[in-house]
Amino acid sequence: GRGGGGAGPVLFGKAHKKVFTILIDAIGAVEPIRSAAMRSQITGVLMKIDIKEGQDVNQGDLLFEIDPRPLQNALLSAKADREKIRVQLENARTQVVRYQKLSAESMVSKEQFQQIQDNERALLAQSLASDATVANAELQLQYCSIRAPISGRTGNMSVTEGDLVRANDAGAMVTTN
């Protein structure tokens, strides 16, 4: 017999370029690039949930709707108070003009005229405050619609329709990553 050491056959072929996938199983953690936890800025009853868990959402998409009726009523009340103050201010301005002539003719004391002017200034300040109250009531009403601050995928929801949500609860209603 032959004792080895002889040359083996040499095979050759044409090289081919191929793309193939290598999968490596490993333990790890995935961190989102951005994450946003949605909380209510008002207290109210959650009327509608407009998303599902694990849904992809775009920035600005409606996620939750809170009962707007109490805040609509607050806005109407603020507008009515503002209108009342505007009427009082208009009346005070008319009085200032009227009493200015009387003061010039010494038909009314300087103290009385000063009091009428002070009343006008106080009502002007109240008018500015009532404008701010209306603007705040409008803003609160906008908070009834909770929208996605970022685009991403929603996680688990901690609320259901009919829940009473509170302003700035510690727990998020849903997180978007």
Predicted TM-score (pTM) of the model is 0.71
Mean pLDDT of the chain: 89
Provide the pLDDT for residue 174.
93
Provide the pLDDT for residue 84.
97
Are 57 and 63 a contacting pair, CB within 8 Å? yes
The parts of the chain modelled with pLDDT lower than 70 are: 1-6
Backbone dihedral region of 114: left (phi > 0), alpha (psi from -120 to 50 degrees) or beta? Answer: alpha
Query: What gap in Å lies between CA 8 and CA 133, rounded to an integer?
Result: 95
Amino acid at 22: I
Q: Express each pLDDT in 135-146 by its tens digit.
A: 999 999 999 999
Provide the pLDDT for residue 48.
96
Provide the pLDDT for residue 22.
85
Q: Express each pLDDT in 61-92 by its tens digit.
A: 999 999 999 999 999 999 999 999 999 999 99
